[in-house]
Amino acid sequence: MRIMMIQPNYHSGGAEIAGNWPPSWVPYVGGTLKSAGFTDIRFVDAMTNYISDDALAQIIAQHQPDVVLATAITPMIYQSQTTLKIVRQVCPQAVTIMGGVHPTFMYEEVLREAPWVDYIIRGEGEEITINLLRAIANGTDRRDRNQILGLSFLEDGKVVATPDHPPIKDLNTLCADWSLLDWNKYIYTPLNVRVAVPNFARGCPFRCRFCSQWKFWRKYRSRSPKHFVDEIEQLVKQHHIGFFILADEEPTINKSRFIALCKELVDRKLGIHWGINTRVTDILRDEKELPLYREAGLIHVSLGTEAAAQLNLNLFRKETTIEDNKKAVRLLQENGIVAEVQFIMGLPNETLETIEETYRMARDWHADMTNWNIYTPWPFSELFEELGDKVEVRDYSHYNFVTPIMKPDAITREQLLKGILRNYARFYSHKMLEYWFVKDSFKRKYLLGCLKAFAQTTLNKRFYNLKRLKQKGLHTEIEFGFDRSRILTPEQLVQLKQTHVAVAPVTTEMPTWTPNIENVEGILMSSSSIAACGAPSDLPEYHCEAHDGNEAEDSSEAPAETKAPLEAAPEPMMHI
């Protein structure tokens, strides 16, 4: 059986500016397929190679796959749908499968908009993919699909969702095949080396209200440090990787395992550097261990500082303070680690003054790097419940962290974007000089490499999608390019608020909705309740065991409140 995996050709001007990122779902799902005997696999990275739809159609027609897998994060969803439509047109006998965080939660909407998608895989994809492809290979998928966990599909015009598949209990069973990738394509610009994005852990016990990762993975699990570093050693020796970024949402939650991982890297002397995203509280907790982290090659930590105003920190349920953020930056820098801070911009209470405040704060903290993310209201996140009626733009292709989806109450979208770009320009203008005086020679080299990436993508206008800025005489206008058919009117927003449609509640249940704005009545009538991984909420629920050897040994390390199509997309480092 010929299998084709496709990364859709979507670009946003976000994290790509630091280089080309290898799509992690391909080696993890592909490796699982190979271990199950499916060896005829071809991967087409239409994103990295900028493959047009016409060229992609030729590739598919020439290869004639029996099964095609595509992934979709929210801003990629329309291109993913188009990709599988191309498959249906040029290779009509092929089975089309989509996975990823967006179709996991919005499967009903996707299947209604793209009925040429045969199957949606919900949640963690490796085991579900094997079960489905075995049925396809045997010619029994139509007969047996209602018994395969974690699927959604159309049957006689109706959307069917089977019960959730349980999370993979033992992540040490992951068997990634990184040889599926063309490694000459995946270069991390700051160091000019090959880059990988492996999984050490999946899931997150924290429930930040703007995030969906804790819903997607459902349970925090981690691999053994030895098993993970075995994979890193393979990446270094076989594929000549020079840098890796952990795809994990919170790699430092389990302190003892993270320390063991670092010690394993130190002992093996692989000479590789790496970066992570983590919480401020974990850096404060691990103050004494930071020298070990640096010795193990950890050079870049992106901190979820999130907001300038404590009001917003509380809104996001970040459980940190402004002073905590400042101290975490200082501790990282004292140990030779690049400290990048993140600000989430564009909530309803954003003003020109709060935008300026984030700039002053980044300078006051002496952050090595700063990233200003524009708040993106995922339709399946908890915060959408409160903000959904304010979000008139439902054009998902712009839900990319660099486009103001929401209009703040006191300023325009244009003012918000221009204020953020002004912050970037001022901040990195200072850094052009400051980086040269960093005493640590490797850190200095790294930061200058980051500055190079920033400069290159500013000149070619890939950074923050600068191509949408148009000079009109003495002033600059911004063409956001929203699909007008996917913008709700004030009246439609009122209807949505009154009917409580298109919001994601705090619980694991959430409604689906149809964003075809041409028929708002259809929107209001088509909602149905689904569970965290997409199955109808009245189905039997899977309950994990309390302890399986993969959870934090010390419960005090996690709060009491407590990627793949097929996997949720990681948040790469160096966002500038």
pLDDT digits (tens, 9 = 90+) for 332-342: 999 999 999 99
Is the pLDDT confidence value at 467 over 60?
A: yes
- Let me know if 353 is exposed, middle or buried by CB neighbors in 10 A (0-12, 13-18, 19+): exposed
Q: Say if residue 126's pLDDT is above 60.
A: yes
Above 90 in pLDDT, residue 571? no
Residue 323: per-residue pLDDT: 87
If pLDDT is split at 50, 70 and 90, which confidence band does 205 have? Answer: confident
C-alpha 108/C-alpha 526 separation (Å) is 9
Beta-carbon-side half-sphere exposure of residue 79 (alpha carbons within 13 Å): 22
Q: How far is CA 320 from CA 315, 329, 369, in A?
A: 11, 13, 20
Of 274-288, 395-409, 526-540, minimum mean pLDDT range? 526-540
Mean pLDDT of 549-573: 35
C-alpha dihedral (405, 313, 294, 229), degrees to nearest 10: -70
Gap between the Cα atoms of 236 and 195, Å rounded: 10
pLDDT higher than threshold 50 for residue 542: no
Q: Is 50 exceeded by the pLDDT of residue 372?
A: yes
CA-nearest of 81, 80, 129, 120 to 99 is: 120
Task: Give kind and range of the element (H or E) at residue 221.
Answer: strand 221-222
433's CB contacts (< 8 A; 6+ apart) are none
Cα radius of gyration rounded to whole Å, the chain: 23
The pLDDT value recorded for residue 209 is: 65
Q: Can you give the pLDDT at residue 560?
A: 30
Tens digits of per-residue pLDDT, 160-178?
999 999 999 999 999 999 9
The answer, yes or no, to whether residue 539 has pLDDT greater than 70, is: no
Q: Which of 501, 503, 536, 538 is nearest to 522 (CA)?
A: 501
What's the whole-number mean pLDDT along residues 462-485? 91
Lookup: tokens for 105: 């939660």
Contact 496, 389 (CB under 8 A): yes
Structure-derived torsion over alpha carbons of residues 312, 316, 322, 324, reported in degrees to the nearest 10: 180
Rounded mean pLDDT of 520-544? Answer: 32
Q: Is the pLDDT of residue 573 over 60?
A: no
pLDDT for the residue 523:
28
CB neighbours of residue 242 within 10 Å: 18
Q: pLDDT-derived band of residue 505, with 50, 70 and 90 as boundaries?
A: very low
| Poorest-pLDDT segment among 352-361, 373-382, 560-569 | 560-569
The 8 Å CB, 24+ separation contacts for 508-512 are: 508/215, 508/532, 508/537, 509/537, 510/105, 510/380, 512/105, 512/106, 512/107, 512/108, 512/109
Whether the pLDDT of residue 100 is over 90: the answer is yes
Check pLDDT > 80 for residue 514.
no
For residues 357-377, give the mean pLDDT: 92
Mean pLDDT of 474-489: 91
What's the whole-number mean pLDDT along residues 77-90?
A: 98
pLDDT at 570: 35
Which residues of 250-366 form beta strands (DSSP E)? 273-278, 298-306, 338-345
Residue 300 is predicted with a pLDDT of 97
Least confident of 196-205, 272-281, 291-300: 196-205
pLDDT at 540 over 60: no
Task: Please check the confidence at residue 225 and state whether its pLDDT lies above 70.
Answer: yes
Task: Give the least confident one: 121-130, 202-211, 343-352, 507-516.
Answer: 507-516
> In angstroms, how far is the first alpha carbon of the chain from the final one?
42
- Yes or no: say if 310 and 368 are a contact pair by the CB < 8 Å rule: no
* pLDDT at 497 (0 to 100): 67
Q: CA of 518: how far to CAs of 399, 487, 495, 496, in Å?
A: 20, 10, 14, 14
How far is Cα 251 from Cα 553, in angstroms, rounded to an integer? 14
**CA separation for the pair 502, 361 (Å, rounded):** 35
Among all chains, which residue has been given the structure tokens 């946003």?
12
Asked whether the predicted pLDDT for residue 353 surpasses 80, the reply is: yes
In the numeric block, the tokens 């339709």 are attached to: 379
Q: What average pLDDT does the segment 235-246 reach?
A: 97
Distance, in Å, from the CA atom of 60 to the CA atom of 26, rounded to the nearest integer, reads 17
- pLDDT at residue number 220: 84
Helices (H) and strands (E) in the chain, counts: 20, 20
Mean pLDDT in the chain?
84
pLDDT of residue 29: 97
Tens of pLDDT, residue by residue over 279-321, are 899 999 999 999 999 999 999 999 977 654 444 445 544 456 7
pTM score of the predicted model: 0.85
Q: Identify the weakest region by mean pLDDT among 6-20, 75-89, 262-276, 448-462.
A: 6-20
For residues 275 and 450, the answer to whether their CB atoms sit within 8 Å is no
Cα separation, 571 vs 171, in Å, equals: 20
pLDDT in tens, 111-121: 999 999 999 99
